[in-house]
Amino acid sequence: MTKSISDLEEIARKCRVEIVKMVHRAQAGHPGGSLSEIDLLAALYATRMRVRPDEPKWGDRDLFILSKGHASPGMYSILAEMGFISHEDLKSYRVLGGICQGHVDMKWCPGVDFSAGSLGMGLSFGMGCATAARLDGSDRRAFVMIGDGEMQEGSVWEAAMAAAHHELGNLKVILDRNRIQNDDFCEVQMRMFDIPAKWKAFGWNVKEIDGHNMTEVMEGLDFLEAPENCNGPSILIAHTIKGAGISYMENNPSFHGAAPNDEQFHQAMIELGEVEA
């Protein structure tokens, strides 16, 4: 089923509503990075991922690895939208016994392919999945989303070097370049200089897009899938805004890992068009 740009924007809007509801309900969690990634996840899941929501462990599925596993509300919201889990399940976020663990966990939640939460791990895991797919002779792909602050973990570069060495054309990375990490802006915490040049120097195919412009997002996903970019690993550097869609969260390091209060929640629902002002 073909999705129009406006269809995808609506999916992302609905996911944003769920993200804010989840962190507000739990009074904990990570809204900023969930909101920055969600346009990318909406387009990826709704138009590219070869998955079966009613058969989440289907062997020839594409894999999605959320390496920035704390941005789990974003992933849970799209999994609900796709039908892997129910919208009722979203209420279990950070609740004892709930399938929506604080950080995405493959043992708890259908549709989650990697137990993340510790930064710098997902790309290596994705490399393992991509290597296994190649050995199997399968055309399944491993999509990995990493964060920009996460690139400060040295293990990311171990994986980047190894994936290029092994020419893993079925490994596709999306970088959520939202410019903010836990304590402050990335530029303050640890400058990363020329990020596209770094990945190119490691042997990757690289493209930059605006991660909130759905037309550009679709072009970026086309780039990841293009046959000429399947000679080795590819990365889509998506420039995003932390907290995108909620005015007081945007570009605000305070909302990396903090929940809105009741008043802020109400305002967010107004901004997302869920309630009238």
Partner 1 sequence: MTRMAATRDGYGQALLDLAGNEKVVVLEADLGKSTKSLHFRKAYPDRTISCGIGEQNMLLVGAGMAASGYIPFASTFAIFTERAFEQMRNGIARPNLAVHLCGSHGGTHTGTDGSSAQSIEDLAIFRTLPNVVVMHPCDDVSTRVLTMQLPALGTPSYMRTARNKTPVLYDGREDEIKIGKGIILTEGNDVAIVACGVLVSESLKAAESLKAEGIHATVVDMHTLKPIDGELIDTIATRCGALVTAEDHNVIGGLGSAVAEHLVANIFAPLEMVGVPDRFGESGQADEMLEVMQISAHYIALAAKKAISRK
Q: List interacting residues with partner 1 (CB under 8 A).
A: 59, 105-107, 113-115, 117-118, 120-121, 124-133, 135-136, 142, 154-155, 158-159, 161-162, 165-166
**Cβ distance to partner 1 smaller for residue 87 or 165:** 165
Are the CB atoms for 8 and 47 separated by under 8 Å? yes
We find the least distance from the C-beta atom of residue 126 to partner 1, in angstroms, to be 6
We find the least distance from the C-beta atom of residue 105 to partner 1, in angstroms, to be 8
- The b-or-e profile of 129-143 (16+ CB within 10 A means b, else e) is bbbebbeeeeebbbb
**Cβ distance to partner 1 smaller for residue 42 or 119:** 119
**Cβ distance to partner 1 smaller for residue 19 or 119:** 119
We find the least distance from the C-beta atom of residue 131 to partner 1, in angstroms, to be 6
Range list of H helices, the chain: 5-26, 31-47, 72-82, 122-136, 154-165, 186-189, 195-201, 214-225, 262-271
We find the least distance from the C-beta atom of residue 106 to partner 1, in angstroms, to be 5
CA distance 252 to 180: 8
**Cβ distance to partner 1 smaller for residue 117 or 243:** 117
